[in-house]
């Protein structure tokens, strides 16, 4: 539908990183082996074992140990891994033994860790076999194993389905994009919403357990980490350029370390409000946005909250954006040479425009008319990253175009310039002009040194020193809205639903949609009078252009003019 815009994303959280550990400070006697069961070697393994397995000579001891293990890389999106240590001895007594974490014949150990964690102690992993016989060789066996896996993840079972009041039925002009509302007849807009419920589960930890001579079994255990599952919801209202956070909710439930509860449900949150329209002038645009995210939070082995390994900066959202709302607020232009003069461009003289851009690039295409200048010349501003929050667009073009400036023709020979802006991340909002969800606002920084335009122009489209005109634009103030909140899956976000409705305050009876109820509207209504069917002169929407429509128009005649 043209009036209701939505964005819905569900992210499947899967292990993206291989788990890797390395070990050193080890010793292996004859008959003792370090074996990589999954991995590429001593310094890069997921699963490895120390195995003492030999027909041992009389009165002989064989042993091997690994004192240090480092988790080198991998884990879940937060760098978390699960380590499972297990051992087995076959012969009993002191004839075959193993140590885990310096504990003799220890029970299996399940622990959490993160990439970069170091485990170092005597007998971290050790095996020992001993033949107590005086004359005969005897078979002996013991082993110790380390298996490293990703931390279990919180997975979405049922995503929230948010609902809110659809105000499109209040539209007084269905022939125009967006929703037109006359505050004279609707002084307050009542809005209700619900987040919808959501359910998530946390999987068990799957490991390999040493259970016999060269025998392993699959085993499942509760996660050693804490995870949170929650909703984050907000309703925001943007009136013109001003954004107002209206309502927020963030209920959450924990999955505790070692907890056996595998599934949790968060019930729906509800809210309502009345937005006052009476005091707002006609022509005001109101963008309503409702965003609901199902999220997970992660904690380390010490119970401290941690952030994901993947970092996303505002520049990435700008680069991935498909459009940009560009609005010149003010600039001063001067020209000298064959002609001289100048002037100022004010905000109301340059309407905001929606600029299409290619996702994956920082470049934007503009027309100089869009900057408030009297030149119909398309140009490309090349974007470059200054830092994580600063963008600079550079222009250096030679259009060589002869354009009509009204009183005379002029050759646009060369245009150069620069725009530098500060990128500020904002909560998700809806932009009616570009019909898109954005999360960035850009405003100029650096003054005239970094925000300027120069043009080399020749009057009468004749290139000579006599006809040359130098044009400059300074004191440039602008605002740009952009962003690509759907382009990247934050590992903390399991699902995101965003709803939007765009409202314009307009006078009832404005048939030709110019913002003013005047003679032109009356003339169009009279021309259609008596007709039935789909006509924009049918103000009342009853299927006929009749006295009712005429009465509405006359009652509002002159409004908005």
Nearest to 475 by CA among 306, 375, 284, 333: 333
Q: Please report which confidence band the pLDDT of residue 372 belongs to, taking 50, 70 and 90 as the band edges.
A: low
- For 240, which DSSP code? T
Residue 160 has pLDDT above 90, yes or no: yes
Are residues 114 and 158 both part of a single domain?
no
Q: What one-character-per-residue DSSP string does 287-351 give?
A: EEEEEEEEEEEEE-TTS-EE--S----HHHHHHT-SEEEEEEEEEEEEEEESS-EEEEEEGGGS-
pLDDT, tens digit (0-9, with 9 covering 90-100), for 400-439: 888 887 677 889 899 999 999 999 998 888 888 898 889 9
Flag whether 11 is in a domain.
Answer: no
- Cα(273)–Cα(292) distance, rounded to whole angstroms? 17
> Which secondary-structure segment (H or E) carries 51?
strand 44-56
Flag whether 183 is in a domain.
Answer: yes
Are residues 181 and 256 both part of a single domain?
yes
Residue 241 has pLDDT above 90, yes or no: no
Are residues 190 and 302 both part of a single domain?
yes
**Count of structural domains within the chain:** 4
Flag whether 512 is in a domain.
Answer: no
Tokens for 298?
């992660």
Flag whether 495 is in a domain.
Answer: yes
Q: Bridge partners of 297?
A: 228
Residues 6+ apart with CB under 8 A from 401: 377, 411, 412
Which is it for strands 188-194 and 270-276: parallel, antiparallel or unpaired? antiparallel
Query: What's the confidence (pLDDT) of residue 38?
Result: 92
Q: Bridge partners of 501?
A: 4, 288
| Mean pLDDT to the nearest integer, 143-162 | 94
**Range of lowest pLDDT (126-130, 138-142, 487-491, 508-512):** 487-491
Flag whether 397 is in a domain.
Answer: yes
Q: Give the best-scoring range by mean pLDDT among 58-72, 366-380, 488-502.
A: 58-72
Query: What's the confidence (pLDDT) of residue 488?
Result: 60
Q: Please report which confidence band the pLDDT of residue 399 belongs to, taking 50, 70 and 90 as the band edges.
A: confident
Residue 543 has pLDDT above 90, yes or no: no
Task: Tell me the percentage of the chain whose pLDDT exceeds 90.
Answer: 61
Higher pLDDT, 440 or 73: 440
- Cα(225)–Cα(276) distance, rounded to whole angstroms? 47
| Mean pLDDT to the nearest integer, 191-196 | 95
Q: State how far the alpha carbon of 118 is from the alpha carbons of 24, 68, 107, 180, 389, in Å.
A: 11, 7, 21, 63, 35
Higher pLDDT, 83 or 17: 83
| Mean pLDDT to the nearest integer, 325-338 | 92
Query: What's the confidence (pLDDT) of residue 463?
Result: 92
Flag whether 215 is in a domain.
Answer: no
Residue 100 has pLDDT above 50, yes or no: yes
Query: What's the confidence (pLDDT) of residue 2?
Result: 38
Angle, helices 519-528 vs 547-555, to 10°: value is 180
Query: What's the confidence (pLDDT) of residue 109?
Result: 98
Query: What's the confidence (pLDDT) of residue 362?
Result: 94
The length of the chain in residues reads: 561
Task: Tell me the percentage of the chain whose pLDDT exceeds 70.
Answer: 94
pLDDT, tens digit (0-9, with 9 covering 90-100), for 121-141: 999 999 999 999 999 999 999
Cα R_g (the chain), whole angstroms: 35
- Cα(204)–Cα(397) distance, rounded to whole angstroms? 60
Domain of residue 183, residue span: 154-207+221-310+491-505
Are residues 369 and 442 both part of a single domain?
yes
| Mean pLDDT to the nearest integer, 16-45 | 85
Nearest to 115 by CA among 148, 84, 68: 148
Q: Give the best-scoring range by mean pLDDT among 170-174, 402-406, 505-509.
A: 505-509
Query: What's the confidence (pLDDT) of residue 6?
Result: 55
Higher pLDDT, 493 or 489: 493
Are residues 68 and 161 both part of a single domain?
no
Query: What's the confidence (pLDDT) of residue 371?
Result: 65
Query: What's the confidence (pLDDT) of residue 91?
Result: 93
Are residues 273 and 326 both part of a single domain?
no
pTM: 0.78
Higher pLDDT, 512 or 222: 222
Q: State how far the alpha carbon of 75 is from the alpha carbons of 113, 490, 496, in Å.
A: 9, 16, 24
Are residues 349 and 478 both part of a single domain?
yes
Q: State how far the alpha carbon of 503 is from the alpha carbons of 163, 178, 284, 292, in Å.
A: 18, 6, 8, 21
Query: What's the confidence (pLDDT) of residue 14?
Result: 40
Are residues 459 and 411 both part of a single domain?
yes
Q: Give the best-scoring range by mean pLDDT among 182-186, 257-261, 297-301, 553-557.
A: 297-301
Are residues 332 and 478 both part of a single domain?
yes
Are residues 496 and 460 both part of a single domain?
no
- For 167, which DSSP code? G
Q: Give the best-scoring range by mean pLDDT among 9-13, 175-179, 238-242, 379-383.
A: 379-383
3-state DSSP assignment of residue 462: coil
Residue 17 has pLDDT above 50, yes or no: no
Nearest to 17 by CA among 57, 96, 72, 77: 77
Flag whether 214 is in a domain.
Answer: no
Are residues 191 and 299 both part of a single domain?
yes
Residue with structure tokens 């425009």? 353
Flag whether 441 is in a domain.
Answer: yes
| Mean pLDDT to the nearest integer, 492-520 | 89
Query: Are 469 and 410 contacting, i.e. CB atoms less than 8 angstroms apart?
Result: yes
Q: Please report which confidence band the pLDDT of residue 378 belongs to, taking 50, 70 and 90 as the band edges.
A: confident
| Mean pLDDT to the nearest integer, 188-194 | 94
Query: What's the confidence (pLDDT) of residue 13?
Result: 40
E-assigned strand segments in 388-408 = 390-397, 401-404
| Average pLDDT of every residue of the chain | 89
Are residues 431 and 406 both part of a single domain?
yes
> Which secondary-structure segment (H or E) carries 109?
strand 109-114
| Mean pLDDT to the nearest integer, 32-47 | 90
- Cα(233)–Cα(247) distance, rounded to whole angstroms? 8
**Range of lowest pLDDT (59-63, 301-305, 392-396, 518-522):** 518-522
Residue 3 has pLDDT above 80, yes or no: no
Query: Are 11 and 489 contacting, i.e. CB atoms less than 8 angstroms apart?
Result: yes
Residue 148 has pLDDT above 60, yes or no: yes
Query: What's the confidence (pLDDT) of residue 58?
Result: 97
Query: What's the confidence (pLDDT) of residue 373?
Result: 63
Residues 6+ apart with CB under 8 A from 123: 65, 67, 99, 101, 102
| Mean pLDDT to the nearest integer, 167-190 | 87
- For 77, which DSSP code? T
């Amino acid at each position: 539908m043209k009036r209701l815009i939505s964005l819905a994303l569900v992210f499947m959280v899967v292990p993206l990183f291989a788990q890797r550990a390395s070990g050193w400070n080890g010793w292996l006697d004859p008959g003792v082996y370090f074996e990589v069961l999954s991995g590429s070697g001593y310094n890069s393994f997921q699963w490895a074992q120390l195995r003492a397995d030999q027909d041992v000579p009389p009165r002989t001891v064989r042993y091997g140990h690994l004192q240090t293990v480092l988790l080198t890389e991998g884990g879940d999106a937060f760098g978390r891994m699960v380590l499972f240590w297990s051992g087995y001895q076959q012969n009993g007594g002191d004839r075959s033994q193993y140590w885990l974490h310096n504990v003799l014949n220890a029970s299996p150990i399940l622990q959490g860790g993160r990439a970069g964690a170091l485990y170092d102690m005597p007998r971290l992993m050790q095996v020992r076999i001993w033949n107590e016989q005086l004359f005969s060789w005897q078979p002996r066996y013991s082993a110790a194993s380390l298996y490293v896996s990703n931390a279990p993840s919180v997975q979405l079972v049922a995503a929230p389905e948010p609902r809110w009041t659809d105000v499109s039925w209040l539209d007084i002009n269905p022939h125009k994009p967006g929703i037109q509302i006359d505050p004279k007849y609707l002084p307050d807009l009542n809005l209700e919403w619900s987040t919808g419920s959501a359910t998530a589960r946390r999987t068990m930890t799957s490991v390999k357990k040493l259970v016999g001579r060269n025998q392993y079994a699959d085993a499942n255990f509760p996660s050693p980490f804490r995870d949170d599952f929650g909703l984050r919801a907000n309703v925001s209202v943007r009136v013109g350029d001003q954004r107002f956070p209206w309502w927020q909710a963030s209920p959450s439930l924990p999955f505790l370390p070692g907890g056996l509860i595998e599934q949790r449900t968060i019930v729906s949150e509800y809210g309502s409000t009345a937005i006052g329209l009476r005091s707002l002038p006609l022509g005001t645009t109101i963008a309503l946005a409702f965003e609901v995210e199902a999220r997970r939070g992660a904690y380390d082995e010490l119970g401290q909250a941690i952030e994901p390994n993947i970092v996303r900066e505002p520049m990435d959202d700008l680069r991935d954006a498909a459009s940009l709302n560009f609005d010149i607020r003010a600039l001063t232009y001067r020209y000298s040479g064959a002609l001289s003069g100048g002037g100022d461009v004010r905000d109301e003289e340059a309407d905001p425009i929606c600029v299409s851009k290619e996702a994956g690039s920082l470049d934007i295409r503009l027309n100089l008319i869009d900057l408030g200048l009297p030149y119909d010349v398309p140009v490309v501003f090349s974007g470059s990253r200054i830092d994580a929050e600063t963008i600079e667009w550079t222009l250096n073009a030679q259009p060589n175009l002869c354009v009509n400036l009204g009183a005379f023709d002029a050759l646009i020979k060369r245009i150069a310039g620069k725009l530098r802006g500060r990128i500020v991340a904002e909560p998700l909002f809806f932009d009616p002009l570009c019909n898109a969800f954005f999360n960035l606002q850009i405003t100029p920084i650096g003054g005239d040194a970094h925000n300027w335009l120069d043009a080399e122009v020749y009057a009468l489209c004749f290139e000579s020193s006599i006809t040359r005109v130098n044009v400059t634009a300074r004191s440039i103030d602008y605002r740009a809205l952009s962003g690509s909140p759907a382009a990247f899956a934050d590992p903390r976000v399991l699902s995101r639903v965003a709803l939007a409705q765009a409202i314009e305050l307009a006078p009832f009876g404005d048939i030709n949609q110019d913002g003013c109820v005047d003679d032109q509207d009356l003339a169009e209504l009279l021309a259609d009078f008596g007709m039935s069917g789909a006509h924009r002169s049918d103000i009342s929407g009853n299927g006929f252009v009749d006295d009712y429509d005429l009465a509405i128009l006359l009652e509002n005649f002159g409004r908005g003019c």
